[in-house]
Amino acid sequence: MLLGIDVGGTHTDAVVINQQGIVAAAKVITVHENLLHSVQMAFEDVLQSVSPRQIRKINLSTTLTTNAIIEQKLDQVGMFV
């Protein structure tokens, strides 16, 4: 089985799929101050229906970086040479 987690601007979604389709799904609020917490909560919720031993691969994706660039919500950075 495959576990996919998508950290979005509003929600963090998790889904477990196998060759037949969706086995389990979960949705939690994304906590911007603690993204790891959001991932952990989605992970725990979705694994209530599936044994962790059955998971063979985990994919993690996010739109947060792209959104931060587009919305210009990044801290200033510099480089010394």
Q: Quick: pLDDT tens for 28-73.
A: 999 989 999 999 999 999 999 899 999 999 999 988 777 777 888 7
49: left (phi over 0), alpha (psi -120 to 50) or beta: alpha
Q: Say if 16 falls within a structural domain.
A: yes
The predicted-structure confidence for 2-33, as pLDDT tens digits, reads as follows 999 999 989 999 999 999 999 999 999 999 89
Cα 75 to Cα 21: distance, rounded to the nearest angstrom? 41
Domain CATH for 11: 3.30.420.40
Q: Say if 28 falls within a structural domain.
A: yes
**Number of domains into which the chain is organized:** 1
Helix (H, G, I), strand (E, B) or coil at 33: coil
Residue 48's domain comprises 2-70
Q: Say if 15 falls within a structural domain.
A: yes
Q: What is the pLDDT of residue 21?
A: 95
**DSSP helix, strand, coil percent of the chain (3-state; round to 5):** 25, 35, 35
Q: Say if 76 falls within a structural domain.
A: no
